[in-house]
Amino acid sequence: MRQSSRCGAKTRSGGKCQAPAVSGKPRCRMHGGAKGSGAPKGNRNALKHGLYTREALEVRKMLSELMRASRKTLREIE
């Protein structure tokens, strides 16, 4: 156990984690060496709501321009 490689994750105090690394991985079980740890493959988290997709941004920009033009038209009529 003493000869096993150590986790190199940075701790809050600025030092390195000294827990033994999971075999075949550079980190311990608490810092990403455990099976199934880490982010999913691909960026599935960004697909949660679609608020910042290219299409949604274009629609909001188009609506903003339309509102601006309609306000200008209303000011000219008054």
Q: Is residue 68 part of a domain?
A: yes
Q: How many domains does the chain have?
A: 2
pTM as predicted: 0.42
Q: Is residue 28 part of a domain?
A: yes
Whole-angstrom Cα distance, residue 74 to residue 56?
A: 27
Q: Is residue 42 part of a domain?
A: no
Domain interval for residue 8: 1-35
| pLDDT one-digit tens code per residue, 23-63 | 888 888 888 877 777 666 776 665 677 888 899 999 999 99
Q: How far is CA 62 from CA 50, 54, 69, in A?
A: 17, 12, 11
Angle 11-16-17 from CA coordinates, rounded to 5°: 75
Residue 4 and residue 29 in one domain: yes
Residue 26 and residue 56 in one domain: no
Of the candidate ranges 11-15, 32-36, 60-64, 70-74, the one whose mean pLDDT is the lowest: 32-36
